[in-house]
Amino acid sequence: MTNKSKNDLLIIAGREFTSRLFLGTGKFSSIDVMDEAIRASETEMVTVALRRVDLDNPADSLLSAIAGFKNIQLLPNTSGARDADEAVRLARLAREMGCGNWVKLEVTPDPRYLLPDPIETLKAAEILVKEGFIVLPYINADPILAKRLEEAGTAAVMPLGSPIGSNKGLKTLDSIRIIIEMCSIPVVVDAGLGSPSHASLAMELGADAVLVNTAIASAGDPPLMAAAFKKGVEAGREAYRSGLPAAGSGAHASSPLTGFLRKD
């Protein structure tokens, strides 16, 4: 870790993160592979679908594998919930079962593209925030919705780059740019990032973090891909911090056009 990144902490709900790469845990070929990918990514935030967790069984293998990482924040998600009621019910249950009070709010009534329902997401967020949850909602790249969620008290917003699992990258780039400009809570680009360069671009735009799952889990060598994403995220972040030069349309003459103007 460089000194530079030590000074560049991401803070969500008072918790500090040095890594700006969050990982999803679905789609891995085994818990061992997932474990290695988490290690290689150096992530400090990992999301787990509650539908995959056996809440009746405290020794659930997925949860215990993640609990093995002491510096990782567990972020249970409500994937599968079709409306606010279902998401809220599942979040409460997870908290009762000892999964903590962080929740990645996913309300995705359409099982095909898993696109988030903005109305139900806002409804659920309002309820969960009031109940003391730290809520990170998965949303479409809608700047006004992002602001409404911020006002409702969510800890971050997680706009999608493109549909989950599509690996298409930042198809929503222009809207993400506006969200970053308008929001004062962290913006985490979630879903659709298919390669480290996509993650890099999101970070260059000024996203506070990215969440990646499919691209790593379904890579030929998931740990190697996790390491590649880590570098992509770091490169994008450093480029953003260093102040990217604006891309120009033409060459600039080296002799200034206004050099003849007097200073006074």
Partner 1 sequence: MFREIFDSHDLNRIRDRIYSSSESDFEKALASNDSRFTPDGIIPFFSPAADKHLEELAHRSSGITRARFGNTIQLYSPLYISNECNSSCIYCGFNARNRIKRVTLTPEEVTMEADALYGMGFRHILLLTGESRRAVPVTSMAEMIRRIHGKFSSISVEVYPMETQEYMELIRAGADGLTIYQETYDREAYAIVHPRGEKSDFYWRLDAPDRGGAAGFRRIGIGSLLGLSDWRIEGFCTALHAMYLSKKFWKSQVLISFPRLRCAPGDFKQPFNVTERDLAHLICVMRILLNNAGLVLSTREPAVLRDNLFPIGITTMSAGSKTSPGGYSLDNDAGGQFEIEDVRSPYVISEMLKQKGYDPVWKDWDRNFQA
Catalytic residues: 104
Q: What length is written for the chain?
A: 264
- Residue 201 has which token pair? 């671009």
Piece of the chain touching partner 1 by CB under 8 A; list 3-11, 25-33, 128-136, 201-209: 25-33
Q: Which is nearer to partner 1, 52 or 171 (CB)?
A: 52
**CB contact set of 208 (below 8 Å; sequence gap of 6+):** 10, 20, 156, 186, 187, 188
Shortest spacing between CB 252 and partner 1, in angstroms: 42
Quote the least distance from Cβ 25 to partner 1, whole Å.
Answer: 10
d(CA 249, CA 228): 31
Candidates 4, 9, 54, 68; binder of partner 1 (CB under 8 A) is 54
DSSP assignment letter at 184: S
Assess contact for 62 and 25: CB atoms under 8 A.
yes
- Residue 85 is a binding residue for partner 1 (CB under 8 A): yes
Does the protein bind partner 1 through residue 186 (CB under 8 A)?
A: no
Applying CB under 8 A, does 26 fall inside the site for partner 1? Answer: yes
* 93-132 residues near partner 1, rule: CB under 8 A: 93, 109-113
Q: What's the gap between Cα 211 and its chain centre? A: 4
Q: How far is the C-alpha of 248 from the C-alpha of 256, rounded, in Å?
A: 16
Work out whether 81 is an interface residue with partner 1 (CB under 8 A): yes
Q: Which of residues 205-224 bind partner 1 (CB under 8 A)?
A: 214, 217-218
Task: Give me the least distance between CB of 154 and partner 1, in Å please.
Answer: 22
Residues 177, 183, 187, 189: is their CA dihedral positive or negative? negative
Q: Which of 229, 125, 212, 140 is nearest to 176 (CA)?
A: 140
Contact pick of 2, 3, 7, 30 for partner 1 (by CB under 8 A): 30
Q: From the list 8, 15, 35, 55, which residue makes contact with partner 1 (rule: CB under 8 A)?
A: 55
Minimum separation from the CB atom of position 144 to partner 1 (A): 24
Binding of partner 1 at residue 90 (CB under 8 A)?
yes
196 binds partner 1 (CB under 8 A): no
Rg (CA), the chain: 20
Q: 180 and 189 in contact (C-beta within 8 Å)? A: no
Strand 158-159, strand 10-12: pairing: unpaired
Categorise residue 262: left if φ over 0, alpha if ψ from -120 to 50, beta otherwise: beta
**82 contributes a contact to partner 1 by CB under 8 A:** yes
State the residues that interact with partner 1 by CB under 8 A.
26-31, 50-55, 80-82, 85-86, 89-90, 93, 109-113, 165-167, 214, 217-218
